[in-house]
């Protein structure tokens, strides 16, 4: 494993150094003292593993395909933008626009996430992007979602803290959102309906959460002992008619 001290290093130098080392055959990195450096892990297609200590800057792991990143800290905005494949594990919170247009891979967040998470997510056959959120989520979760899975757990909430913000799944027309708990109907977009889980859902949920719980040392049993709801789109092609004629 190559250790890189990122203290005071500009993002361009840091990312170039990582790419140079990958070119030399290095595959495992431990970045320490990271603070605010943008674009870390972006576009990396090889099977690179990276530990990040600190607060990486915006657009972490964007356009990546296969890289596995663990962050010991919070992540900022625009993380996992258009992620194609790979795994991102965050031992902290995430900011806004996490997993925008994501089309493969797994994003595991231990804490809360901000606004506009998982918007425009899409999936196709074996491409199944997954975002699992341990805490709560802000407004516009899963807006215009077209595929993939979002699981929102809402663990460790204080007092009357809401599971999720407003405008949930507005314009959603594919994929599924699993919610650990109920959500007020007025928060929902018109394009989705809440349903109870079937056996297939439970199997799926257990499979996805088993891996998540392993990463964060959570009790799977405890997490799935609660009541879950799922959101699915009412129509699969809401705009088909608009553009076809």
Contact yes or no for 129/151 (Cβ under 8 A): no
β-bridge pairing 228-233 and 174-180:
antiparallel
> Under DSSP, is residue 198 helix (H, G, I), strand (E, B) or coil?
coil
Residues numbered 201 to 240 that lie near another protein (CB under 8 A) are none
Identified binder of another protein from the candidate list 5, 16, 27, 36, rule CB under 8 A: 36
Measured from the CB atom, the residue of 45 and 162 that comes closer to another protein is: 162
Residues numbered 127 to 166 that lie near another protein (CB under 8 A) are 138-140, 165-166
Give the position of tokens 């992540």. Answer: 75
| C-alpha closest to that of 97 among 75, 81, 117 | 117
Give the position of tokens 């972006």. Answer: 42
Indicate the Cα dihedral angle 127, 132, 138, 144, nearest 10°: 20
Q: Using CB under 8 A, which of the segments 107-115, 169-177, 206-214, 235-243 binds another protein?
A: 107-115
Residues numbered 86 to 105 that lie near another protein (CB under 8 A) are 93, 95-96
Minimum distance, C-beta of residue 240 to another protein, in the bound complex (Å): 27
Contact yes or no for 107/131 (Cβ under 8 A): yes
- Interface pattern 174-203 for another protein (x via CB under 8 A): ------------x-----------------
Given the rule CB under 8 A, which residues bind another protein? 11, 35-36, 38, 54-55, 57-58, 74, 76-77, 93, 95-96, 112, 114-115, 138-140, 165-167, 186
């Amino acid at each position: 494993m190559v250790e890189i001290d990122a203290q005071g290093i500009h993002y361009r130098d840091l990312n170039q150094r990582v790419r140079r080392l990958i070119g030399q055959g290095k595959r495992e990195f431990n970045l320490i003292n990271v603070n605010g450096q943008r674009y870390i892990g972006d576009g990396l297609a090889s099977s690179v593993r990276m530990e990040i200590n600190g607060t990486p800057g915006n657009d972490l792991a964007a356009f990546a395909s296969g890289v596995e990143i663990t962050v010991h800290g919070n992540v900022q905005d625009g993380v996992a933008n258009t992620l194609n494949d790979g795994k991102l594990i965050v031992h902290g919170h995430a900011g806004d626009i996490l997993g925008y247009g994501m089309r493969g891979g797994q994003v595991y967040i231990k804490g809360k996430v901000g606004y506009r998470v998982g918007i425009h997510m899409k999936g196709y056959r074996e491409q199944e992007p997954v975002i699992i959120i341990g805490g709560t989520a802000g407004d516009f979760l899963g807006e215009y979602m077209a595929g993939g899975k979002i699981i929102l757990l809402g663990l460790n909430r204080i007092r009357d803290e809401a599971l999720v913000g407003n405008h949930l799944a507005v314009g959603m027309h594919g994929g599924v959102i699993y919610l650990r708990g109920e959500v007020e109907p007025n928060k929902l977009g018109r394009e989705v309906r809440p349903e109870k889980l079937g056996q297939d859902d439970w199997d799926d949920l257990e499979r996805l959460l088993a891996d998540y719980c392993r990463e964060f040392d959570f009790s799977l049993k405890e997490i799935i002992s609660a009541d879950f709801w799922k959101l699915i789109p009412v129509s699969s092609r809401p705009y088909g008619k608009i553009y076809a004629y």
